[in-house]
């Protein structure tokens, strides 16, 4: 008992008994104060909540101004954690039992010895501490459930259910309502709408953003210090989960936006490929069609008197005209050559392209290094075409790498020009394949050959950029883009 240093308030209107109790409890190492009236005792308990809480109240059941049951009820309203020990005479045992039902820890019957009082105090205090530890464990379990939800995938409905269940554990017999700023709310069966006007409130707020409010209306007494601490901790954790939920929602939106942009860019690159294929087909077929047209005209002059052959040549001419119309339509798929060029920083274009490729090739690593000294010269380019070309080249190299390997992209000054290099130490391209990738037309194209490098080269050339590729077993592969026109 001496080590506990319990702070005990004694309330008894018999001076001699009060003095005996005070002296005896002090001899046990307790901090003791006493008073003779219930009203004064209640005021001392109220004052203790503001300064230093009482641990134990020892009160006689029969007092001059009020009975001990009244003091028990009122003191428990102020401090539910207060341990109350009732002193009673032989004829008032039934009232003492009633006091136990109302929350008293124990009662002691007159006359009693100090040793008996000490035993009752020890047992009551230990029971109170065990109960408190049990409530704290329930509170910690509730907070852990909220924290576990915070670390996982937050769900608003699940969060409200767990928070409501946790508040029931923490606060006991209390009407509860959780109301979020979007109008979503949950309440327990004890809640009534009119409680919101005068209920205890705990704000759900994180980093200046208000997410809602917790409303509590204790149905018996008031919340104790541990309960208020648990409420504050739970409100904080719920706010963190709501903040996390907003972040996840925003992140999903950003990822969907990024995916849409990536899809648009890849579609744009595909259209560019189709345009280049169509343009190359038109170019490759115009020459033989011109020869056929001239041949038909020449043979028509040679066999002017043969009606059957003239009719056959006429059919050939009509077929050639239809084929020319098809080629004219194909040429409409050619990329618009009037795209506007503007000044831009290559590092900005490279970062956008590499970011898209890094997302598209989920298993690859693209490291961006901007090496341009104190400043970077802008270039006059069609930014969309350059980005398409970069995406095509990076995707080509990423696919060639298979699983594993790095792509290092660098923007730098080189020979008074701006240059972009793409270096992959582990990628080696056969020289024959390397030569085939750089061909300018589709005349020698074969099924299975990748056209992305060829088409990227053509996009770059339209922006006054030279593309060079070097590959060797000891140094890997390096794509070098040199921009000769600067703004």
Other Cβ atoms less than 10 A from the Cβ of 49: the count is 15
158 Cβ contact partners less than 8 Å away, ≥ 6 residues apart: 149
d(CA 378, CA 371): 14
3-state secondary structure of 476: strand
Q: Which of 355, 413, 342, 418 is closest to 384 using CA atoms?
A: 342
Give domain 342-483's CATH architecture.
2-Layer Sandwich (3.30)
Q: Which of 163, 168, 173, 174 is closest to 204 using CA atoms?
A: 163
d(CA 159, CA 175): 18
Examine the pLDDT at 374 and tell me if it is beyond 70: no
**Arithmetic mean of pLDDT, 59-67:** 87
Q: How confident is the model at residue 34 (pLDDT cuts 50, 70, 90)?
A: very high
| Superfamily per CATH, domain 7-133 | Response regulator (3.40.50.2300)
d(CA 57, CA 60): 10
d(CA 390, CA 479): 10
- Residues of the chain with pLDDT > 90: what percent? 12
**Arithmetic mean of pLDDT, 249-267:** 64
Question: 213 — phi, psi (to 5°)?
Answer: -150, 145
Q: How confident is the model at residue 171 (pLDDT cuts 50, 70, 90)?
A: confident
pLDDT for the residue 271: 58
pLDDT for the residue 197: 80
pLDDT for the residue 440: 45
Question: Which CA distances in Å does 1 have to 118, 125, 126, 127, 238?
Answer: 8, 10, 11, 15, 40
Examine the pLDDT at 263 and tell me if it is beyond 70: no
Which pair of tokens denotes residue 395? Answer: 């995707």
Cβ proximity of 277 and 451 under 8 Å: yes
> Would you call 481 exposed, middle or buried from its count of C-beta atoms within 10 A (0-12, 13-18, 19+)?
buried
3-state secondary structure 174-197: EEEEEEECCCCEEECCCCCHHHHH
Q: How confident is the model at residue 323 (pLDDT cuts 50, 70, 90)?
A: confident
Examine the pLDDT at 192 and tell me if it is beyond 60: yes
Q: What is the pTM of this model?
A: 0.38
91 DSSP 8-state letter: G
**Arithmetic mean of pLDDT, 36-45:** 92
pLDDT for the residue 336: 47
Q: How confident is the model at residue 479 (pLDDT cuts 50, 70, 90)?
A: very high
Examine the pLDDT at 183 and tell me if it is beyond 70: yes
Examine the pLDDT at 337 and tell me if it is beyond 50: no
pLDDT for the residue 258: 60
**Arithmetic mean of pLDDT, 63-73:** 88
Which pair of tokens denotes residue 310? Answer: 């003239």
Question: 421 — phi, psi (to 5°)?
Answer: -115, 140
Q: Which of 448, 363, 463, 457 is closest to 405 using CA atoms?
A: 363
The residue that leads in pLDDT, 155 or 330, is 155
In this structure, the strands spanning 106-109 and 200-206 are unpaired
> Would you call 371 exposed, middle or buried from its count of C-beta atoms within 10 A (0-12, 13-18, 19+)?
exposed
**Arithmetic mean of pLDDT, 282-290:** 71
Cβ proximity of 246 and 207 under 8 Å: no
Mean pLDDT, the chain, as a whole number?
Answer: 78
3-state secondary structure of 13: coil
Asked if 7-133 and 342-483 have one fold, the answer is no
The CA angle 241-244-246, to the nearest 5 degrees, is 115
pLDDT for the residue 52: 83
Kindly list the domain boundaries of the chain, sorted by start residue. 7-133, 136-249, 259-331, 342-483
In this structure, the strands spanning 365-371 and 406-414 are parallel
d(CA 214, CA 21): 44
Other Cβ atoms less than 10 A from the Cβ of 267: the count is 10
CATH topology of domain 136-249: Beta-Lactamase (3.30.450)
Q: How confident is the model at residue 413 (pLDDT cuts 50, 70, 90)?
A: confident
| Rg of the chain, C-alpha, whole Å | 44
pLDDT for the residue 138: 63
Q: How confident is the model at residue 93 (pLDDT cuts 50, 70, 90)?
A: low
Examine the pLDDT at 272 and tell me if it is beyond 70: no
């Amino acid at each position: 008992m001496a080590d506990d240093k319990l702070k005990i308030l004694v309330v008894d209107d018999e001076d001699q008994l009060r003095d005996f109790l005070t002296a005896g409890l002090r001899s046990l190492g307790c901090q003791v104060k006493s008073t003779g009236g219930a009203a004064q005792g209640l005021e001392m308990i109220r004052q203790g909540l503001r300064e230093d809480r009482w641990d134990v109240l020892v009160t006689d059941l029969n007092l001059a101004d009020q009975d001990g049951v009244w003091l028990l009820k009122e003191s428990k309203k102020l401090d539910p954690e207060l341990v109350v020990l009732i002193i009673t005479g032989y004829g008032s045992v039934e009232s003492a039992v009633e006091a136990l039902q109302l929350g008293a820890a124990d009662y002691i019957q007159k006359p009693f010895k100090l040793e008996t009082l000490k035993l009752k105090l020890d047992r009551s205090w230990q029971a109170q501490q065990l109960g408190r530890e049990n409530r704290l464990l329930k509170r910690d379990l509730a907070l852990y459930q909220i924290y576990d939800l915070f670390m996982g995938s937050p769900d608003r409905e699940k969060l409200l259910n767990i928070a409501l269940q946790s508040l029931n554990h923490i606060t006991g017999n209390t009407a509860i309502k959780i109301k979020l700023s979007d109008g979503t709310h949950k309440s327990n069966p004890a809640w009534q709408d009119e409680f919101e006007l005068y209920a205890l409130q705990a704000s759900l707020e994180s980093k200046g953003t208000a997410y809602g409010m917790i409303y509590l209306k204790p149905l018996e007494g008031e919340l104790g210090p541990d309960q208020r601490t648990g409420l504050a901790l739970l409100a904080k954790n719920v706010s963190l989960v709501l903040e996390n939920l907003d972040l996840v929602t925003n992140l999903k939106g950003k990822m969907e936006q990024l995916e849409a942009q990536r899809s648009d860019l890849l579609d744009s690159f595909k259209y560019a490929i189709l345009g280049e294929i169509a343009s190359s087909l038109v170019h490759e077929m115009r020459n033989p069609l011109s020869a056929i047209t001239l041949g038909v005209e020449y043979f028509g002059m040679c066999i002017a008197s043969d009606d059957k052959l003239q009719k056959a040549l006429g059919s050939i001419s009509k077929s050639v005209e239809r084929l020319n119309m098809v080629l004219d339509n194909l040429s409409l798929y050619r990329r618009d050559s009037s795209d506007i060029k503007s000044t831009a920083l290559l590092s900005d274009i490279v970062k956008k392209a590499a970011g898209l490729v890094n997302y598209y090739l989920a298993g690859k690593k693209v490291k961006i290094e901007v090496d341009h000294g104190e400043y970077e010269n802008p270039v006059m380019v069609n930014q969309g075409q350059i980005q398409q070309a970069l995406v095509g080249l990076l995707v080509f190299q990423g696919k060639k790498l298979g699983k594993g390997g790095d792509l290092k992209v660098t923007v730098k000054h080189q020979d008074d020009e701006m240059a972009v290099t793409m270096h992959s130490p582990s990628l080696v391209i056969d020289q024959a394949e390397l030569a085939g990738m750089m061909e300018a037309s589709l005349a020698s194209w074969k099924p299975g050959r990748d056209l992305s490098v060829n088409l990227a080269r053509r996009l770059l050339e339209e922006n006054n950029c030279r593309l060079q590729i070097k590959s060797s077993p000891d140094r890997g592969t390096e794509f070098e883009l040199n921009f000769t026109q600067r703004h």
